[in-house]
Structure 1
C-alpha cells in the first residue's frame, strides 16, 4: 500500500512539475489574444488532416502532431508560432517539441478549436 501511495505522489509531482515548466515557454491565449497576434505569426493546426478539412481557422497550415518531427523544416524558429488543436492537449505537446527544436515564442489557443467562434474555412 505504501508503494502505491509513493507512486501516486510521484506521478502527481511529475505532472505538476511539467505544467509549471510548460508555463515558462508556452503562452496560453484567449481567443481575443490569439486573434490579435496570429496574423503576425506562423499559425499551425496540429490536428489530423481529416479534422483540419472538416474546418480550420482561416489562414492556418496543417502540420499534424504526428508529422511534426518529419516536417520541422517548415517551421521558422525566428518567428512566433501560434498552435491549436481540438482542445489544447496536442498543441501543448507540439509546443514541447518545438521548444526542443529551438523555437522561443510559442503560444496556443485556450480551449482549442472547439471553443473557437472566429472565421473558419472548410474544404
Structure 2
C-alpha cells in the first residue's frame, strides 16, 4: 500500500499541487476540521459511493489516525482505483483546516 506522511501531503498542497483528498471519517468528526478541498465519504458509505470516484485519478485517503484510511485504500485498490493512505491521519496533520 502506497503511503504519504501528513507532512508530505501538506508540502504538496503548499506547492500548489491539486490533490484529490477523500476524508473517510464520520460527518461529526469532519465538522471539527478537514483538509482544504477534501471530500467527505465516511468509510461505511465508501462501497456505495465509490462510483463517484474516477479511476483515472489518484486519491489520498485520510482519517483520524490512518487506520480507516488504510482500510479504504486497500478496498479501493482492490477495485482498480489509485489510492494513497495518509499515514498518521489528522492527528499528524499540522496544516490548515477548513
TM score, norm. by length of structure 1: 0.71
Which runs of 5 or more residues in structure 2 are unaligned?
none
Contact (CA 8 Å) 1:41, 1:79: kept in 2 or not?
A: no
3-state SS of the aligned residue for 1:69? Answer: helix
Superposed CA RMSD? 1.6
TM score, norm. by length of structure 2: 0.88
Whole-Å Cα distance in 2 between the matches of residues 31 and 119 of structure 1?
12
- How many residues of Structure 1 are paired with residues of Structure 2 in the alignment? 95
Structure with more of its chain in helix, by fraction: 1
Which runs of 5 or more residues in structure 1 are unaligned?
1-25
Larger Rg belongs to:
1
Bigger relative CO (Cα 8 Å, ≥ 6 apart): 2
Which of 33, 44, 49 is the equivalent residue of 2:8? 33
